[in-house]
Structure 1
Amino acid sequence: MTDTATVAASLDDPWIGTEPPTDAAGWLARAREVADILATDAVDRDNANGTPFAEVRVLKQSGLVTLLGPTVHGGGGQTWDTAYRVIREVARGDGSIGQLLGYHYLWAWAARLVATDEQIAAVEELYTVGNLLFGGAVNPRDSDLTVTEDGDQLVFTGRKSFSTGGQVSDLTVLEGVLDGTDTHIFAIVPTAQPGIVFAGDWDNLGQRLTESGSVEITGVRVDWASAAGFVGKVFQPLTYNTLNVPAIQLVFANFYLGIAQGALETATAYTRSRSRAWPYGGDDKQRASDEWYILEGYGQLQSKLWADEALIDRAGAEISAVLHDARENLTERRRGEIAVQVAAAKLRIVEDGLETTTKVFELTGARASANSVGLDIFWRNLRTHSLHDPLPYKKREVGQYVLLGEVPEPSWYT
């Protein structure tokens, strides 16, 4: 990381001496403060492509890392409805850090998704008291890690080509298949250990500071008692277990929306202060901000993002309600209906977000393409992560529900 690559690296804790927020509005305001800090030098940090230790420090200092943690352990005690909006706010300032925070929330909740009551209590106390950040070596397009038994322990071995969180995480979620069976096992382990080696090979077009490179897992041991959701070495299944995918798909939609909002905010500020009116149109204006096509363009983009926000918030409220309800209450049909809402929200923000992050160049002018302006970071970030799974399949899921009344079967991407 260069000396000028991050404002965050030189900041003392800006929240020392302040009380943590106590309600959703306060946490959203805190997230906006974090976003403003990150936005100051997001382009420089992206260019430096360093490991975001300082940025994660800001997340921890702000209290956002323990937003979902129990209040009895010093956490925020907030709901997923608030967490989704917080992710969005942080992504407005830096899409990479919004992604890190969103993945952290999902993996911090993974214990509630699949673990026993005793395991949930232990994990939530551990990460909340320690203010610890989660990463995850769970990439379904790779071969699963191999899990072997050694007495009362399980041993994880293998390689994952993507592992978001990487070196900046304190805890890593592992997933593998028990050797000789088709039984999948999740476990949470400390990141800093000899058996977890990150290659540092994440060098993509966008989301460059997410620490999403490959990782080698060699002989990482956990007690059988730490295998999430297993009692007497037998998994206890619930429909609730399958909420991990729609929950994280909505994480995606929210940081996509935050990226698009950041692009529009940056572009409008540029147009107001720096764009020049076009002098050859026949209805010449003194300011670019008075030109009809500029006004129309921004109006179109903003109206689409407002509509996307409403759709995403609706899905967030729906899934938050079931995530915080008793796990036994969720039916397969209800789970499928929520997955369809999430798919609809995701497909809309991908298409509208990509339009926004491209169209802003037409509305700001040729000089806004300068690397120093950095408008390209928004398109690069959104374009990169929105390739996570093909959008046509999301459209098909919504179409099957509307036309045939069918809900998608749970999978690694639905």
Structure 2
Amino acid sequence: MAVGEREGTDPSTYTSHYSKFERERFPANQAAWVKRAQDVAEILASDAPKRDNENKSPIAEIGLLKASGLLKVMGPKKYGGGGEPWSTGYKVIREVAKGDGSLGMLLGYHLLWSTTANVVGTEEQADSVQQAIIENNWFVGGAVNPRDNDLKITDDGDNIVFNGFKNFNTGGVVSDLTVLEGVFDGTEDHIFTLVKTDQPGIQFQHNWDNVGMRLTESGSVRIENVKAPWSDALGWSTETKRPIPEVLNIPFASMLLPTIQLVFSNFYLGLAQGALLAATKYTKTSTRPWPFGGDNKDTVTEEFYVLERYGQYAAHVEAADALTDRAGLKIDEVYAEADVTLHRKSINAERRGQVAAFVAHAKVVNTDTGLEVTSGIFEMLGSRATSRKHGFDRFWRDIRTHSLHDPVAYKKREVGKWQLLGEIPEPTWYT
């Protein structure tokens, strides 16, 4: 074990579940994929508080995602994937997050990173990347934190060479492939590529020990002389060693950003839904009515304030669910149109901006609703529910931790400009 490296969870933990998934039919439609995600969430929820407290590297949990097939939900059918659109991917993320926010987050990032070449690569690159990921059932992490200095990329002839440091990466320690992104030396041009994670030049610092999302291995990483062939530089020409304009110099090339922002919204929503479900079960089985209010009830489910609060939270969560689904369908429309046009030129700045605005609506509502629900459930549970063995706090800690990724205030400003001025959100690393 490397210095500072955490002990991993035991891969044999879920052996019986691996066998069960192997016996079951591969999901064939959205409903079946959602059901598979619900099964995985139920498994993860059964010991989530314990695993959260132990804070081990999620080796077994990633194995469970692999065995369930969820990593392949959006992969091409011709290579053994589910062939589902983003709207299904989002629902699957949401379901897994109900059981374990860390694994919902890891699945979401994997689905984004595994489809990177679909957005910024050539058709040939997208096809070869998808084939490799789906046929090998690889899990993809990423070291792409825009708040840090860019990785420096140099040319050594046949290869591009990455060097630098990132304060955050996602799931890298337990990944098979890592997405790297940096700036080509002497230019302002960015390059994305995917490399094998298990190599000496990718040096994880094993320093992720945060309040929430504790099983995401999101610590820092040093990149030293990591090479990739020029042919793996997504959207770049191997002959000119320059970006290919019809691939990268169009609004569609920035679709990764609203796509991942909606990933965030979906696991925030899943956390809120998971918290509400767990709280409901506990209230009905363990919470006692308050005997000193002057309007005493025989059971807690007759308490007016308990019913009122559950009603409020359930209504807000259901509204968030509908809004998030609508945003997911908007994402689907853009990707479907880009597939039809092949060169993606029909996706202009206005179209891209409208989708980003829909995503911003969902981000605002899910952040605010998620924080309110995950912190407020304790008022309906009682003091005994604060025991660490129950782990009710993990829902709030998870959403509180990740919602600091980028300030939701800026999403509210985007929505305000769209509403008041008709201005579409400007493409940035966070929009």
- SS of the residue 1:188 aligns to: strand
Q: Provide the C-alpha distance between the structure 2 equivalents of 1:229 and 1:209, rounded to a whole number of angstroms.
A: 33
1:59 aligns with 2:71: no
In structure 2, the partner of 1:346 is 363
- Preserved contact between residue 161 and residue 215 of structure 1 (Cα < 8 Å): yes
- Preserved contact between residue 211 and residue 398 of structure 2 (Cα < 8 Å): yes
In structure 1, the partner of 2:242 is 234
- Preserved contact between residue 196 and residue 217 of structure 1 (Cα < 8 Å): yes
Q: Provide the C-alpha distance between the structure 2 equivalents of 1:59 and 1:3, rounded to a whole number of angstroms.
A: 14
Equivalent pairs counted in the alignment come to 414
Q: Provide the C-alpha distance between the structure 1 equivalents of 2:192 and 2:26, rounded to a whole number of angstroms.
A: 32
- SS of the residue 1:372 aligns to: coil
In structure 1, the partner of 2:420 is 403
Q: Provide the C-alpha distance between the structure 2 equivalents of 1:84 and 1:135, rounded to a whole number of angstroms.
A: 18
Deviant stretches of 4+, over 6 Å: 2-6
Q: Deviations over 1:32-73 (max 9, x none)?
A: 000000000011111111110100111010100011111111
Task: For 1:274-285, list aligned pairs within 5 A.
Answer: 274-285=286-297
Q: Deviations over 1:268-302 (max 9, x none)?
A: 10000000000111111111111111001000000
TM-score (norm 2): 0.94
Q: Deviations over 1:82-104 (max 9, x none)?
A: 00000000000000000000000
1:209 aligns with 2:215: yes
- SS of the residue 2:345 aligns to: helix
Task: Find the partner of 1:32 among 35, 38, 50.
Answer: 38
Structure 2 spans left out of the alignment, 5+ residues: 1-6, 339-343
1:264 aligns with 2:270: no
Q: Provide the C-alpha distance between the structure 2 equivalents of 1:324 and 1:199, rounded to a whole number of angstroms.
A: 40
Q: Provide the C-alpha distance between the structure 2 equivalents of 1:9 and 1:166, rounded to a whole number of angstroms.
A: 23
In structure 2, the partner of 1:391 is 408
Q: Provide the C-alpha distance between the structure 2 equivalents of 1:4 and 1:411, rounded to a whole number of angstroms.
A: 40
Give, as a single letter, the amino acid of the residue that structure 2 aligns with 1:142. Answer: D
Q: Provide the C-alpha distance between the structure 2 equivalents of 1:17 and 1:265, rounded to a whole number of angstroms.
A: 29
In structure 2, the partner of 1:328 is 345
How far apart are residue 253 of structure 1 and its match? 0.2
Structure 1 spans left out of the alignment, 5+ residues: none
Task: Find the partner of 1:249 among 261, 264, 268.
Answer: 261
Task: Find the partner of 1:192 among 198, 205, 210.
Answer: 198
How far apart are residue 351 of structure 1 and its match? 0.7
- SS of the residue 1:324 aligns to: helix
Q: Deviations over 1:184-243 (max 9, x none)?
A: 111110111111111110111000001100011000111111100012322122211111
Q: Provide the C-alpha distance between the structure 2 equivalents of 1:11 and 1:159, rounded to a whole number of angstroms.
A: 38
How far apart are residue 329 of structure 1 and its match? 2.1
Q: Provide the C-alpha distance between the structure 1 equivalents of 2:295 and 2:347, rounded to a whole number of angstroms.
A: 60
Q: Deviations over 1:374-408 (max 9, x none)?
A: 11000000100001111111110000111111111
- Preserved contact between residue 113 and residue 241 of structure 1 (Cα < 8 Å): yes
In structure 1, the partner of 2:378 is 361
Q: Provide the C-alpha distance between the structure 2 equivalents of 1:312 and 1:222, rounded to a whole number of angstroms.
A: 37
How far apart are residue 9 of structure 1 and its match? 6.7
Q: Provide the C-alpha distance between the structure 2 equivalents of 1:12 and 1:225, rounded to a whole number of angstroms.
A: 36
Give, as a single letter, the amino acid of the residue that structure 2 aligns with 1:110. Answer: T
- What is the root-mean-square deviation in Å for CA atoms of aligned residues? 1.4
Structure 1 41/5 Cα, relative in aligned 2: closer, same or farther at 3 Å? farther
Q: Provide the C-alpha distance between the structure 1 equivalents of 2:34 and 2:175, rounded to a whole number of angstroms.
A: 23
Q: Provide the C-alpha distance between the structure 2 equivalents of 1:14 and 1:88, rounded to a whole number of angstroms.
A: 22
How far apart are residue 262 of structure 1 and its match? 0.6
Q: Provide the C-alpha distance between the structure 1 equivalents of 2:11 and 2:64, rounded to a whole number of angstroms.
A: 15
Task: Find the partner of 1:318 among 293, 309, 330.
Answer: 330
In structure 2, the partner of 1:22 is 28
- SS of the residue 2:22 aligns to: coil
1:72 aligns with 2:78: yes
Q: Provide the C-alpha distance between the structure 2 equivalents of 1:144 and 1:395, rounded to a whole number of angstroms.
A: 28
- SS of the residue 1:388 aligns to: coil
Q: Provide the C-alpha distance between the structure 1 equivalents of 2:130 and 2:109, rounded to a whole number of angstroms.
A: 16
- Preserved contact between residue 5 and residue 45 of structure 1 (Cα < 8 Å): no
- Preserved contact between residue 97 and residue 104 of structure 2 (Cα < 8 Å): yes
Percent same amino acid at aligned positions? 52
In structure 1, the partner of 2:187 is 181
